[in-house]
Amino acid sequence: MFLKARPLEIEALKPIVILNREDADELDVRPLDRVELMVNNKKLIAIVNVAEVFVLEGEIGLSETVHEKLGVKMGEKIKVKPSEPPESLIFIKNKLSGNVLKSKEIEKIVIDVVGQRLSDIEITAFVTGLYIHGMAMNEVAALSRAMAETGKNLKFKTKEIFDKHSIGGIPGDKTSMILVPVIAAAGLTIPKTSSRAITAPAGTADRMECLCPVDLTLEEIKRVVRKTNGCLVWGGAVELAPADDMLIQIEYPLSIDPLLLPSVMSKKKAVNAKYVVIDIPTGRGVKIKTPQEAEDLAIEFIELGKKLKINVNCISTFADQPIGYGIGPALEAREVLNTIENGKGPKDLIDKVSCLSSVLFDFKKIKNPKDKISHILKSGKADRKLRDIIAAQGGNPKIKPEDIPVADKVVKIKSNKSGRVLWINNHFITRMARVVGAPKDKGAGILLHRKLADKVKKGDILFEIYAEKNYKLRKALEIFEEKNVFGVGKKYSIVLAEIPEEEERKKYFILER
Amino acid sequence: MFLKARPLEIEALKPIVILNREDADELDVRPLDRVELMVNNKKLIAIVNVAEVFVLEGEIGLSETVHEKLGVKMGEKIKVKPSEPPESLIFIKNKLSGNVLKSKEIEKIVIDVVGQRLSDIEITAFVTGLYIHGMAMNEVAALSRAMAETGKNLKFKTKEIFDKHSIGGIPGDKTSMILVPVIAAAGLTIPKTSSRAITAPAGTADRMECLCPVDLTLEEIKRVVRKTNGCLVWGGAVELAPADDMLIQIEYPLSIDPLLLPSVMSKKKAVNAKYVVIDIPTGRGVKIKTPQEAEDLAIEFIELGKKLKINVNCISTFADQPIGYGIGPALEAREVLNTIENGKGPKDLIDKVSCLSSVLFDFKKIKNPKDKISHILKSGKADRKLRDIIAAQGGNPKIKPEDIPVADKVVKIKSNKSGRVLWINNHFITRMARVVGAPKDKGAGILLHRKLADKVKKGDILFEIYAEKNYKLRKALEIFEEKNVFGVGKKYSIVLAEIPEEEERKKYFILER
Say what the ipTM of the complex is. 0.89
CA-based nearest distance A30→chain B, Å: 9
Please say if B257 is a catalytic residue: yes
Dist CA A414 CA A461 (whole Å):
4
pLDDT(A12) > 80 = no
**Residue A346 preceded by cis peptide, ω within 30:** no
The answer to whether residues B363 and B163 touch, using CB atoms and an 8 Å cutoff, is: no
User: Cα-flanking dihedrals φ and ψ of residue A382, to 5°?
Assistant: -65, -40
Q: What is the mean pLDDT of chain A?
A: 93
Q: Which fold has domain B88-134?
A: 1.20.970
Q: Does domain B409-489 have CATH number 3.90.930.60?
A: no
What is the predicted pLDDT for the residue at B11?
A: 76
* Contact yes or no for A11 and B53 at CB 8 A: yes
Q: Tell me the HSE value of A407 on the side-chain side, using a 13 A CA sphere.
A: 31
pLDDT(A185) > 90 = yes
CA-based nearest distance A71→chain B, Å: 19
Maximum Cα interatomic distance, chain B, rounded to a whole number of Å: 80
Residue-wise pLDDT for B364-405, tens only, equals 999 999 999 999 999 999 999 999 999 999 999 999 999 999
What is the predicted pLDDT for the residue at A54?
A: 83
**Residue of B132, B245, B502 to mutate when probing chain A, most A C-beta within 10 A:** B132
Which of the given ranges, A186-200, A495-509, B7-21, has the highest pLDDT on average?
A: A186-200
Dist CA B142 CA A337 (whole Å):
60
pLDDT(A232) > 70 = yes
Dihedral (CA of B146, B148, B153, B155) sign: negative
Dist CA B380 CA B6 (whole Å):
62
pLDDT(B491) > 90 = no
What is the predicted pLDDT for the residue at B512?
A: 63
* Contact yes or no for A133 and B131 at CB 8 A: no
Give me the helices (H) in A11-102, please: 21-27, 64-70, 88-96
* Contact yes or no for B33 and A9 at CB 8 A: no
* Contact yes or no for A9 and B54 at CB 8 A: yes
What is the predicted pLDDT for the residue at B159?
A: 84
Question: What is the distance of C-alpha B317 from the center of its chain?
Answer: 19
Dist CA A106 CA A100 (whole Å):
10
Bridge-based pairing state of the strands B419-424 and B311-318: unpaired
Range name among A157-166, B368-377, B489-498 with the lowest pLDDT average: B489-498
Please, which pLDDT band fits residue A510 given cuts at 50, 70 and 90? low
> In degrees to the nearest 10, what's the CA dihedral of B181, B183, B185, B186?
170
Which of B128, B249, B255 has the CB atom closest to A128's CB atom?
A: B128
CATH number of A162-232+267-401: 3.40.1030.10
Residue-wise pLDDT for A274-309, tens only, equals 999 999 999 988 889 999 999 999 999 999 999 999
Share of chain A above pLDDT 70, in %: 96
DSSP-assigned letter for residue B72: P
Of residues B163 and B7, more confidence is placed in B163
The answer to whether residues A466 and A410 touch, using CB atoms and an 8 Å cutoff, is: yes
Residue-wise pLDDT for A439-484, tens only, equals 999 999 999 999 999 999 999 999 999 999 999 999 999 999 998 8
The answer to whether residues A177 and A336 touch, using CB atoms and an 8 Å cutoff, is: yes
H or E element that contains A190: strand A190-194
Please, which pLDDT band fits residue B106 given cuts at 50, 70 and 90? very high
Mean pLDDT (whole number) for A322-329: 98
Q: What's the Cα-to-Cα distance from A370 to each of A174, A188, A375, A424, B481, rounded to whole Å?
A: 19, 16, 8, 29, 76
Share of chain B above pLDDT 70, in %: 96
Dist CA B244 CA B262 (whole Å):
9
Residues of B in contact with A9 (CB under 8 A): 8-9, 54
Dist CA B357 CA B162 (whole Å):
10
* Contact yes or no for B254 and A93 at CB 8 A: yes
Q: What is the mean pLDDT of chain B?
A: 93
- β-bridge mates for residue B448, sequence order: B463
Of residues A466 and B510, more confidence is placed in A466
10 Å CB burial of residue B506 (0-12, 13-18, 19+) is exposed
* Contact yes or no for A9 and B98 at CB 8 A: no
Bridge-based pairing state of the strands A409-414 and A445-448: unpaired
Chain A's closest residue to B246, CA to CA, is A31
* Contact yes or no for A128 and B124 at CB 8 A: yes
User: What type of residue sits at position B208?
Assistant: M
Q: How many residues does chain A have?
A: 513
Residue-wise pLDDT for B417-458, tens only, equals 999 999 999 999 999 999 999 999 999 999 999 999 999 999
Please, which pLDDT band fits residue A508 given cuts at 50, 70 and 90? low
CA-based nearest distance A358→chain B, Å: 37
Mean pLDDT (whole number) for A198-204: 93
Mean pLDDT (whole number) for B356-361: 97
Mean pLDDT (whole number) for A402-430: 95
Predicted TM-score (pTM) of this structure: 0.90
Mean pLDDT (whole number) for A54-70: 91
DSSP, collapsed to helix, strand or coil, labels residue B203 as coil
Residue-wise pLDDT for B54-83, tens only, equals 899 999 999 888 999 999 999 999 999 999
pLDDT(A504) > 60 = no
Q: Domain residue spans in chain B?
A: 2-83, 88-134, 409-489
Residue B57, chain A, CB below 8 Å: the answer is no
What is the predicted pLDDT for the residue at A123?
A: 96
Q: What is the 3-state secondary structure (H, E, C) of B482-503?
A: HCCCEEEECCCCCCCCCCCCCC
Please, which pLDDT band fits residue A53 given cuts at 50, 70 and 90? confident
DSSP, collapsed to helix, strand or coil, labels residue A69 as helix
Dist CA A450 CA A452 (whole Å):
7
What is the predicted pLDDT for the residue at A109?
A: 98
What is the predicted pLDDT for the residue at A507?
A: 56
Closest C-alpha among B71, B395, B471 to residue B214 = B395
DSSP, collapsed to helix, strand or coil, labels residue A111 as helix
Residue-wise pLDDT for A341-392, tens only, equals 999 999 999 999 999 999 999 999 999 999 999 999 999 999 999 999 999 9
Please, which pLDDT band fits residue B226 given cuts at 50, 70 and 90? very high
Of A33, A112, A257, A441, the catalytic one is: A257
CA-based nearest distance B71→chain A, Å: 19
What is the predicted pLDDT for the residue at B504?
A: 53
Please, which pLDDT band fits residue A64 given cuts at 50, 70 and 90? confident
Please, which pLDDT band fits residue B509 given cuts at 50, 70 and 90? low
Dihedral (CA of A320, A323, A325, A326) sign: negative
Maximum Cα interatomic distance, chain A, rounded to a whole number of Å: 79
Closest C-alpha among A346, A329, A333, A265 to residue A303 = A265
Please, which pLDDT band fits residue B506 given cuts at 50, 70 and 90? low
Dist CA A139 CA A150 (whole Å):
16
pLDDT(B45) > 70 = yes
The answer to whether residues A341 and A378 touch, using CB atoms and an 8 Å cutoff, is: no
Given the candidates 3.10.150.10, 3.30.70.580, 3.90.930.12, 2.40.40.20, the CATH classification of the domain at B2-83 is: 2.40.40.20
Q: Who contacts A163 (Cβ-Cβ below 8 Å, separation ≥6)?
A: A190, A191, A192, A268, A271, A273, A275, A276, A277
User: Cα-flanking dihedrals φ and ψ of residue A267, to 5°?
Assistant: -75, -30
Share of chain B above pLDDT 90, in %: 84
Q: Who contacts A230 (Cβ-Cβ below 8 Å, separation ≥6)?
A: A180, A181, A183, A184, A189, A190, A191, A192, A224, A385, A389
Please, which pLDDT band fits residue B500 given cuts at 50, 70 and 90? low
DSSP-assigned letter for residue A237: G
